[in-house]
Chain A
Amino acid sequence: MVDVDRDDAAPPEGADAPDVPLLRMEGIVKHFPGAKALDGVDLDVLPGEVHCLLGQNGAGKSTLIKVLAGAHQPTSGRIVLDGEEIAIPHPVAALRHGVATIYQELDVVDGLTVAENVFLGHELDRGGFTQRREAIRSTREMLRRLGHPEISPHREVGRLSAAGKQIVSMARALSHDARVIVMDEPSAVLDAGEVQNLFRVVRGLTAQGVAVVYISHRLEEIRQIGDRITVLKNGRTVGRDLPAATTPTAELIRLMTGRNVEYAFPTRPGVPEDAPVVLDVEDLALAGTFEDVSFQVRAGEIVGLAGLVGAGRSEILETLYGARRRTAGSVAVKGRRLRSGSVDAAVAAGIGLCPEERKSQGLVLDEPVYRNITLSTFARIARGGWLDERAERAAAREQVAALDLRPAGVDRAARTLSGGNQQKALLGRWLVHGCDVLLLDEPTRGVDVGARSELYALVRRLADAGTAVVVVSSEIPEVLGLADHVLVVSEGRVVHRAPAQDIDEHRVLDLVMEGTVA
Chain B
Amino acid sequence: MSTQVDASPAAESRSSWLSGPAGRTVGLVVALVLLAVVGVITGGERFASLDNVMTILRLASVTGVLAIGMTFVITAGGIDLSVGSVLGLATVWASTLATQTMAEDLHWTVMVLTGLAVGTAAGLINGLIIAYGKVVAFIATLAMMIAARGLAEMISGRQTQVVQVDGFLDFVRADFIGVPVLVWMFVVVAVAGWFLFNRTTFGRRTVAVGGNAEASRLAGIKVQRHLLYVYGLSGLTAGIAGVMMLGRTTAGTSTNGLYYELEVIAAVVVGGTLLIGGRGTIVGTVIGVLIFAMLTNVFTINNLSISAQNVAKGVIIVVAVLIQQRFAARSTST
Q: What are the interface flags for A321-346 relative to B under an 8 Å C-beta threshold, 1 for contact and 0 otherwise?
A: 10100000000000000000001101
Q: Which B residue sits closest to A413, measured CB to CB?
A: B332
Q: What are the interface flags for A390-428 relative to B under an 8 Å C-beta threshold, 1 for contact and 0 otherwise?
A: 100100000000000000111111010000000000000
Q: Across the interface, do A344 and B220 meet the contact criterion of CB distance under 8 Å? A: yes
Please name all residues of chain A whose beta carbon is closer than 8 Å to the beta carbon of B6 when the two chains form the complex: 393, 411
Q: Across the interface, do A387 and B220 meet the contact criterion of CB distance under 8 Å? A: no
Q: A323-B218, A364-B208, A365-B212 are in contact. Are A387 and B199 (CB under 8 A)?
A: yes
Q: From residue A437, how far is it (CB to closest CB) to chain B in Å?
A: 13
Q: A363-B212, A382-B201, A390-B4 are in contact. Are A412 and B9 (CB under 8 A)?
A: yes
Q: What are the interface flags for B214-226 relative to A under an 8 Å C-beta threshold, 1 for contact and 0 otherwise?
A: 1111111110000
- Say whether B200 faces chain A, with CB atoms less than 8 Å apart: yes
Q: Which of A352-372 contact B (CB under 8 A)?
A: 353, 355, 360-367, 371
Task: Please tell me which stretch of A67-75, A122-130, A373-381, A484-492 contacts chain B, meaning at least 4 of its Cβ atoms lie within 8 angstroms of it.
Answer: A373-381
Tell which of A346, A361, A389 touches B4, judged by Cβ atoms closer than 8 Å: A389
Q: How far is the CA of A112 from the CA of B17 in the complex (A)?
A: 46
- Say whether B204 faces chain A, with CB atoms less than 8 Å apart: yes
Q: Across the interface, do A378 and B201 meet the contact criterion of CB distance under 8 Å? A: yes
- Say whether A293 faces chain B, with CB atoms less than 8 Å apart: no
- Say whether B279 faces chain A, with CB atoms less than 8 Å apart: yes
Q: Across the interface, do B215 and A343 meet the contact criterion of CB distance under 8 Å? A: no
Q: Across the interface, do B215 and A362 meet the contact criterion of CB distance under 8 Å? A: yes
Q: Across the interface, do B279 and A366 meet the contact criterion of CB distance under 8 Å? A: yes
Tell which of B203, B207, B215 touches A361, judged by Cβ atoms closer than 8 Å: B215
Please name all residues of chain A whose beta carbon is closer than 8 Å to the beta carbon of B4 when the two chains form the complex: 389-390, 393
Please name all residues of chain B whose beta carbon is closer than 8 Å to the beta carbon of A362 when the two chains form the complex: 215, 218
Q: How far is the CA of A61 from the CA of B203 in the complex (A)?
A: 42
Please name all residues of chain B whose beta carbon is closer than 8 Å to the beta carbon of A390 when the two chains form the complex: 4
Q: Which of B1-24 contact A (CB under 8 A)?
A: 1, 4, 6, 8-9, 12-13
- Say whether B278 faces chain A, with CB atoms less than 8 Å apart: yes
Q: Which of B162-214 contact A (CB under 8 A)?
A: 199-205, 207-208, 211-212, 214
In this complex, how many residues of chain B approach chain A with their Cβ under 8 Å: the count is: 30
Q: How far is the CA of A321 from the CA of B217 in the complex (A)?
A: 11
Q: Across the interface, do A360 and B215 meet the contact criterion of CB distance under 8 Å? A: yes
Q: From residue A374, how far is it (CB to closest CB) to chain B in Å?
A: 9
Q: Across the interface, do A378 and B12 meet the contact criterion of CB distance under 8 Å? A: no
Q: Which A residue sits closest to B211, measured CB to CB?
A: A364
- Say whether A190 faces chain B, with CB atoms less than 8 Å apart: no
Q: How far is the CA of A340 from the CA of B277 in the complex (A)?
A: 30
Q: How far is the CA of A379 from the CA of B8 in the complex (A)?
A: 26
Please name all residues of chain B whose beta carbon is closer than 8 Å to the beta carbon of A348 when the two chains form the complex: 220
Please name all residues of chain B whose beta carbon is closer than 8 Å to the beta carbon of A353 when the two chains form the complex: 218
Q: A385-B200, A390-B4 are in contact. Are A366 and B278 (CB under 8 A)?
A: yes
Q: A375-B208, A386-B200, A390-B4 are in contact. Are A361 and B221 (CB under 8 A)?
A: no
Residue from the set A321, A365, A409 with the largest chain B CB neighbour count within 10 Å: A409
Tell which of A347, A376, A411 touches B13, judged by Cβ atoms closer than 8 Å: A411
Please name all residues of chain A whose beta carbon is closer than 8 Å to the beta carbon of B217 when the two chains form the complex: 323, 343
Please name all residues of chain A whose beta carbon is closer than 8 Å to the beta carbon of B211 when the two chains form the complex: 364-367
Q: How far is the CA of A371 from the CA of B210 in the complex (A)?
A: 14
- Say whether A24 faces chain B, with CB atoms less than 8 Å apart: no
Q: How far is the CA of A379 from the CA of B208 in the complex (A)?
A: 12
Q: From residue B169, how far is it (CB to closest CB) to chain A in Å?
A: 36
Q: Which A residue sits closest to B1, measured CB to CB?
A: A389
Please name all residues of chain A whose beta carbon is closer than 8 Å to the beta carbon of B214 when the two chains form the complex: 360-361
Q: Which A residue sits closest to B5, measured CB to CB?
A: A390
Q: Across the interface, do B332 and A415 meet the contact criterion of CB distance under 8 Å? A: yes
Please name all residues of chain A whose beta carbon is closer than 8 Å to the beta carbon of B13 when the two chains form the complex: 411
Q: Across the interface, do A412 and B216 meet the contact criterion of CB distance under 8 Å? A: no
Q: Across the interface, do A371 and B204 meet the contact criterion of CB distance under 8 Å? A: yes
Please name all residues of chain A whose beta carbon is closer than 8 Å to the beta carbon of B201 when the two chains form the complex: 378-379, 382, 385-387
Q: What are the interface flags for B265-280 relative to A under an 8 Å C-beta threshold, 1 for contact and 0 otherwise?
A: 0000000000000110
Q: From residue B272, how far is it (CB to closest CB) to chain A in Å?
A: 13
Please name all residues of chain B whose beta carbon is closer than 8 Å to the beta carbon of A347 when the two chains form the complex: 219-220
Q: How far is the CA of A390 from the CA of B199 in the complex (A)?
A: 12
Q: Which A residue sits closest to B331, measured CB to CB?
A: A413
Q: Across the interface, do A409 and B220 meet the contact criterion of CB distance under 8 Å? A: no
Please name all residues of chain A whose beta carbon is closer than 8 Å to the beta carbon of B279 when the two chains form the complex: 366
- Say whether A298 faces chain B, with CB atoms less than 8 Å apart: no
Q: Across the interface, do A386 and B199 meet the contact criterion of CB distance under 8 Å? A: yes
Q: Which B residue sits closest to A368, measured CB to CB?
A: B9
Q: Across the interface, do B200 and A375 meet the contact criterion of CB distance under 8 Å? A: no
Q: Across the interface, do A376 and B9 meet the contact criterion of CB distance under 8 Å? A: no
Q: From residue A184, how far is it (CB to closest CB) to chain B in Å?
A: 23
Q: How far is the CA of A355 from the CA of B207 in the complex (A)?
A: 20
Q: From residue A339, how far is it (CB to closest CB) to chain B in Å?
A: 13
With A360-B215, A364-B212, A364-B278 given, can you name 19 additional A-B contacts, CB distance below 8 Å?
A343-B220, A344-B222, A360-B212, A363-B215, A364-B215, A365-B211, A366-B211, A367-B208, A375-B208, A375-B215, A375-B219, A379-B204, A379-B205, A386-B201, A389-B4, A390-B4, A393-B6, A412-B9, A413-B332
Chain A residues close to B by CB (< 8 Å): 321, 323, 343-344, 346-348, 353, 355, 360-367, 371, 375-376, 378-379, 382, 385-387, 389-390, 393, 408-413, 415, 429
A-B contact pairs, 11 of them (CB 8 A): A344-B221, A361-B215, A365-B211, A366-B278, A379-B205, A382-B201, A386-B199, A387-B203, A393-B6, A411-B12, A415-B332
